[in-house]
A and B are shown apart, each in its own frame.
Chain A
Amino acid sequence: MNRFAELLDRLVLTPARNGKLTLLVDYFRTTEDPDRGLALSAITGDLSIAAVKPAMLRALVTERMDPVLFGYSYDYVGDLAETVSLVWPDPPPHLRRNRSPSLGEVVGALQAASRSDGPTVLARLLDGAGIEARFAMIKLVTGGLRIGVSARLAKQALADFGKVEVAEIEELWHGLKPPYVELFAWLEGKAPKPEKAASALFRPVMLSNPVEDRDLERLDPVDYAAEWKWDGIRVQAVSEAGLRRLYSRTGDDVSGAFPDLVDAMDFSAALDGELLVGDPAAATGTFSDLQQRLNRKAVSPKVRERYPAFMRCYDLLQLGDQDLRPLTFTERRRRLESFMLTLDPSRFDLSPLAPFDGWATLDEMRKNPPHPVIEGVMLKRLDSPYVAGRPKGPWFKWKRDPRTVDAVLMYAQRGHGKRSSFYSDYTFGVWQGDAGEEELVPVGKAYFGFTDEELKQIDKYVRDNTIERFGPVRSVRADREKGLVLEVAFEGLNRSTRHKSGVAMRFPRISRLRWDKPPIEADRLATLQALLD
């Protein structure tokens, strides 16, 4: 338990992806089964334990200490799980155990507990553990580790640990169960690769590279097909042997959020495509509309009716018993087109090809797409098989030019790792209010897009123009006369109730520093609001 607790603590405070991977790989290497597999399942969200409610936790601790002292403590720390882990009294010496329980023992005890005796079991476990282990236990039972590690990152760590491709892990993942003993045995070279036991497994997806300078001049347009790039989320619909699963592009099962779409999956195949909302024939909804359906465990019938989900399909990976992935794009596309005729047209439609006669025409098409929910074009090599990962050459994405806005730097925060002595994360704002009474309102935050040399210049600017400091954050002078204007590029704009400005940018980054521009000439909020619809 102590090793798991230490892992959690370090992961929370390690911002860099590579640092997290090192910590995870080391943990997998030095921890025994079943603990490492249980830790993995806790991180990926696949571990189920009966929950203990915060009020119950509070009751447990105030039975054991002065409630006033607990109140002072909780006020100071702010986090219930952390406070309880710190103040929990050690049992008298004769009742102390001489060793801390393993993660396996803790999980076993918690899983065996019924909902009613859960708190008692938890209290007994807390009695037998140190501060760090208590914190980890409370996190397990209150749900949500919040350590900044996605399931995808955990799988990457497994791949690094076993020196295999992450696609292999993803393909196996849904057939495996905690504590993943056979998976670790394979990764350590002690056992053969686990057989794909279950049906309706995820197939690792094929990804594209962005078109960069001079890419196209080396390619012949006749070798490629083009499709519109729809602004939804990539999904894979797999239906086999009576099992239906809708996966995200990283292999997370999202079926629960889209029962309407899953109901229509009455086929035996694996489809690749874009999840969108609306009516495929008449009106494709925007990404903001789609967000009404994302990241929800359950969807109300009202929302389902207002934002019906459908899938715009562009590839067929499996049909009946046949794995189509080794076939060429042309072959797969032919089968996809005829297969689509058999599906419910209100839930599945075909992503149309976009014929073009040369790169110049295609360039025009991507800049002026025929539909607002298109964000560019995709290029797919006609003779390419479907391969996992992001090979350079077969698939390209060529996006509509990003939108830009001139905003004023308002706050800067110190970065991490290599950037920890640099103010490298920038919050910027645009003007609102009547002429003469303009105020800056924050509209986003960006931490890349600039060169190392530009970073040094901005850092110096921040240090020289600080007006207030809050921990690692500095507020920077930004008024009509004095301030740094940043040209910010972004992919899209959503309505947001969480931000004061009412808008949220997607994928913002600094595209240019406008040292020349007076701050008052930066953009106004109205300019952004006009881009919303």
Chain B
Amino acid sequence: MRPSDLLRPRPEGLYCPPGDFFIDPVRPVPRALVTHGHSDHARAGHGSVLATGQTLDIMALRYGVDFAGSTQAAVLGETVHVNGVAVTFHPAGHVLGSAQICVEHGGTRIVASGDYKRQPDATCRPFEPISCDVFITEATFGLPVFRHPPDTQEVARLIRSTEQFPERAHLVGAYALGKAQRVIRLIRDAGYSRPVFIHGALSRLCEYYQSQRIDLGDLRPATVEGGKKGDFAGAIVVGPPSAFADRWARRFPDPIFCFASGWMRIRQRAKQGGVELPLIISDHCDWDELLRTIQETGASEIWVTHGREEALVRWCELQGIAAKALHLVGYEDEGD
């Protein structure tokens, strides 16, 4: 079977004609397979959803329990058949519950990896390379300039800054699902045991992570009720990046804005956003990891979904690997 007969881009998302399902559709469809819980990949209103149990839980937390007509939990590594097409979910290492979806039919195997990363992350299962004919990859950081440093090094800088500026609150902007919990966990692994304060938008997801036995330590709401501004001196406060431009941030003493994102690799990005302490921590692959992953899958053809496709396609061409950009729309850049 030709790969383009097994999966092809449609305005709603990647469509599988023999299986009659979509992967990560951006509009409501009768049958959806969802890689992970980020809102640009997991939307409400589908007829049925097949995803990992954790992804289904996260969707229910975000959209309410009736977010889809029916749901089915996929078990990692176990194959299910959807209208005769073999479908297997494999860990993607992106956020809790995230998976790649391997689709196999008529002797052709395609892996749609969704969003994924290769750096170790204590808050989710690590990515497993799956050999396939076609590997579908994102390219959020698909330029040679994106090279993520070890996350432990970035968090060490954050903790050192709290010692250097004990009178100032350190506000860490981090995407509410995945990044925030990973950053908190890294802070704990670095030996920081003081309370970490969180913005209200993070509380339910942090609770869910803790219910999945991911220890985030002593978390407290970043409210001023009963407290004073000075209570946050030297504290680490984690919240969604948008909150820090907001009036909400005024409760903190002389705050230092920190932003945990792969974009922080580019100084101008940090400067324009008024970020004083950029933390280069990403839940996506950097350039070197994208290249390594492509090689490990052994795929003879690469499809690039979203991000900076042209550089990745160019690199594949130089390696003699067929590659094309799918130009899928509706997927956002990390943390923007």
3 interchain residue pairs of minimum CB distance: A86-B145, A421-B249, A471-B272
21 contacts between A and B (CB under 8 A): A14-B276, A23-B164, A66-B318, A68-B314, A73-B144, A76-B145, A76-B308, A79-B267, A86-B144, A87-B145, A417-B254, A417-B256, A418-B255, A420-B244, A420-B274, A421-B245, A421-B246, A421-B250, A471-B272, A471-B273, A472-B272
**Interface bits B122-154 vs A (CB < 8 Å: 1, else 0):** 000000000000000000000111110100000
Q: Are B268 and A78 in contact (CB under 8 A)?
A: yes
Select from chain A the residue with minimum beta-carbon distance to B318.
A66
**Does A72 lie at the interface of the complex (its beta carbon under 8 Å from any beta carbon of B)?**
yes
> A-B pairs with CB below 8 Å: how many?
92
Report if A72-B311 is in contact (Cβ < 8 Å); known contacts: A131-B149, A414-B245: yes
The reply to whether B278 and A13 form a contact with Cβ atoms under 8 Å apart is yes
Contact residues on A (Cβ < 8 Å of other chain), bracket? 35 or more
Complex Cα distance, B201 from A78, in Å, reads 35
Give chain A interface residues in 1-58, CB to chain B under 8 Å. 6, 9-10, 12-15, 19, 22-23, 26
A472 touches B255 (CB 8 A): no
Q: A341: CB under 8 A from chain B?
A: no
CB-contact partner of B265 in A79, A86, A471, under 8 A: A86
Q: What separation, in Å, do the CA atoms of A86 and B311 have in the docked complex?
A: 15
Interface string of B255-283 (1 = CB under 8 A from A): 11100000001111011111111100000
Cβ of B274 and Cβ of A414 under 8 Å apart? yes
- Render B296-312 as a binary contact track against A, CB cut-off 8 A, 1 for contact: 00000000000010110
Taking the complex as formed, is A65 at the interface, i.e. its CB lies under 8 A from any CB of chain B? Answer: yes
Interchain CA distance A70-B314 in the complex, whole Å? 11
A88 to chain B, nearest CB (A): 10
A471 neighbours in B (Cβ, 8 Å): 272-273
Contact A22 B314 (CB under 8 A): no
Q: Which residue of B lies closest to A421 (CB)?
A: B249
B247 interface residue (CB < 8 Å to A): yes
Enumerate A387-417 residues with CB–CB distance to B below 8 Å: 414, 416-417
Q: Taking the complex as formed, is B63 at the interface, i.e. its CB lies under 8 A from any CB of chain A?
A: no
On whether the beta carbons of A66 and B250 are closer than 8 Å, the reply is: no
Whether B245 lies near A12 (C-beta < 8 A) is no
Which residues from chain B contact A414 at a C-beta distance below 8 Å? 245, 274
- B208 contacts A by Cβ under 8 Å: no
Complex CA gap A83/B267 in Å reads: 10
Q: Interface on A for B, CB 8 Å cutoff? A: 6, 9-10, 12-15, 19, 22-23, 26, 65-66, 68-70, 72-73, 76-79, 82-83, 86-87, 131, 414, 416-418, 420-422, 471-472
Extra contacts, 12 of them, besides A76-B308, A472-B273 (Cβ < 8 A), are: A12-B267, A13-B267, A15-B276, A19-B276, A66-B314, A69-B144, A69-B311, A78-B268, A131-B147, A414-B245, A420-B274, A421-B248
**Chain A contacts of B245 at CB under 8 A?**
414, 421, 472
Partner of B244, one of A87, A131, A421: A421
A10, A14, A421 pick with most chain B CB within 10 angstroms: A421
Is A76 within 8 A of B143, CB to CB? Answer: yes
Is A65's CB under 8 angstroms from B270's CB? no
Minimum C-beta distance from A512 to chain B (A): 25
Give A6 to B277 CA distance when docked, in angstroms.
11
Assess whether B192 is interfacial by the CB under 8 Å rule: no
Tell me, in angstroms, the Cα distance from A470 to B83 when the chains sit together. Answer: 48
Instruction: Give the docked Cα–Cα distance between A432 and B274 (Å).
Output: 33
Contacts of B270 in A (CB 8 A): 13
CA distance A421 to B248 in the complex (A): 8
Q: Give the residues in chain B near A72, CB-CB below 8 Å.
A: 143-144, 308, 310-311, 314
Instruction: A72 to B308: give the CA distance in the assembly, Å.
Output: 10
Query: Measured between alpha carbons, how far is A471 from B257 in the docked complex, in Å?
Result: 15
Q: B164 is contacted by which of A26, A82, A416 (Cβ under 8 Å)?
A: A26
CB contacts under 8 Å to A, within B284-329, are 308, 310-311, 314-315, 318
Report how far A214 CA is from B291 CA in the complex, Å.
72
Cβ contact of B165, chosen from A19, A73, A421, cutoff 8 A:
A19
User: Bound complex: CA of A12 vs CA of B266, how far in Å?
Assistant: 13
Contact assessment for B143 and A13 in the assembled complex, using a CB-CB cutoff below 8 Å = no
A366–B69 Cα gap in the complex (Å)? 82
Q: Is B165 a contact of A22 with CB atoms below 8 Å?
A: yes
Q: How far is the CA of A6 from the CA of B280 in the complex (A)?
A: 13
CA distance A86 to B262 in the complex (A): 13
A13 touches B265 (CB 8 A): no
Give the distance in Å from the alpha carbon of A131 to the alpha carbon of B254 in the complex.
30
A300 to chain B, nearest CB (A): 35
| Across-interface contacts of B145 in A (CB, < 8 A) | 73, 76-77, 83, 86-87
Cβ–Cβ contact B249 & A418, under 8 A? no
